[in-house]
Structure 1
Amino acid sequence: MAHSALLIIDVQLSFLHRPFWSSSDMPAFEQALTALIEGCQRQDVALVDILHDNGDEGVFGLQSGLVKRMPFLTHTPQVTFIKHVHNALTESGLHEWLHAREINHLIIAGIRTEQCCETTARVASDLGYRVTFVTAATLTFAMTHAGRTLSAADLKHHTETVLIDRFAAIRTVEQCLAEITHSAVSG
């Protein structure tokens, strides 16, 4: 039987103070993430909050007072980890915590789809975890490089394309919760 944990990555106030912040996709993200959290709670999946502290004096530094969860998150996590790099598993203590609890399946959700969420999925896969990436429960923002802008939808599609069948299973909220139920029944 798979022992699962939902990683809720970087859903923190810091983002509200970045110049690229856009609230246009927030309602759908909040709804998907809330449904995922509630479904995982019903199935005794460990809820793990991950916050990012980059160690400087900006909005991602602890002293800013912004390295805390967004107010729509009302769940009680089993544990909270502070990370200092893009992935949640390196030097945060998370990998050791998961290993001690024999958790071998990670569900990835949170803020920036193509950065901290994708990077965590890749590292988790390399460490031997089974990874489920719930794209609807991730959030990102348009990015421009060399005169070309990729929308949030473009970035999400790119992340799914590079993760699927290599690093993670790509699932909707409903598919993810159904698989957890099936795992519990068959395990």
Structure 2
Amino acid sequence: MSQSDPLKSALIVIDVQESFPQMPFWTEDDVPAFQSALLRLEAGCRAQGVPVVHIFHVGQSGPFTLESGFVKPLDWLPGAPDVRFDKHTHNAFSDTGLDLWLRRRGINHLIISGIRTEQCCETTNRVGADMGYTVDYVTEATLTFLMTHAGSGRCYSAAEIKAHTELVLAQRFARIVTVDQCLAQLTPLAA
């Protein structure tokens, strides 16, 4: 993609699935703000004609297996995405068909949102950037949880993890944007 190519966007909603509330680290602390941001982003993208892509993680055990019945959207996530892909890795591209689907539609700009900020969202962002996509990372429309460093025992808050993700992605792999900044850039595209 050259600098003069217009952006054609897709919203990528990663792993916003019932599997996560079944996990021991799940907490509702940041869910209301995440839900509000993601719903605003999703509605704004749909209003601008931006396709919405749902990605779900399918694992080999526990609540991430298809047999568990939890590999489905959280009950508040609007249904009817333009397309759904199931993944088996931390990024949404490997063996899913996502790249082919995007390229066939001329999409060159990804808007990343979902669960978990520093894992599947960040990894998808990095892979997408390496594949030549322009990426907007909408941190407020991502969710993560407290993590403890295995070596030091130090606990990192969700806010610290989000700040670190922004630090390592900004100006290298993505443009870090708010929901409002993301949607504002889409307005001229519909004209």
TM-score with structure 1 setting the length: 0.96
Alignment of 1:151-166 (within 5 A): 151-166=157-172
What letter is aligned with 1:12? Q
Are 1:102 and 2:106 an aligned pair?
yes
Partners of 1:43 and 1:75 lie apart in 2 by: 17
Equivalent pair of 2:49/2:190 in contact (CA under 8 Å): no
Alignment of 1:4-153 (within 5 A): 4-54=9-59, 56-145=60-149, 146-153=152-159
Shift of residue 2 of structure 1? Answer: 1.5
Partners of 1:184 and 1:2 lie apart in 2 by: 11
Length, aligned pairs only: 184
Unaligned runs of 5+ in 2: 1-5
Instruction: Say which SS state the counterpart of residue 63 (structure 2) adopts.
Output: coil
Aligned alpha-carbon RMSD (Å):
0.9
Unaligned runs of 5+ in 1: none
What letter is aligned with 1:151? S
| Greater displacement, 175-184 / 26-35 | 175-184
Equivalent pair of 1:6/1:47 in contact (CA under 8 Å): yes
Are 1:179 and 2:182 an aligned pair?
no
Instruction: Say which SS state the counterpart of residue 7 (structure 2) adopts.
Output: coil
Deviations 1:22-41 (A, max 9, x none): 00100000000000000000
What letter is aligned with 2:115? I
What letter is aligned with 1:130? T
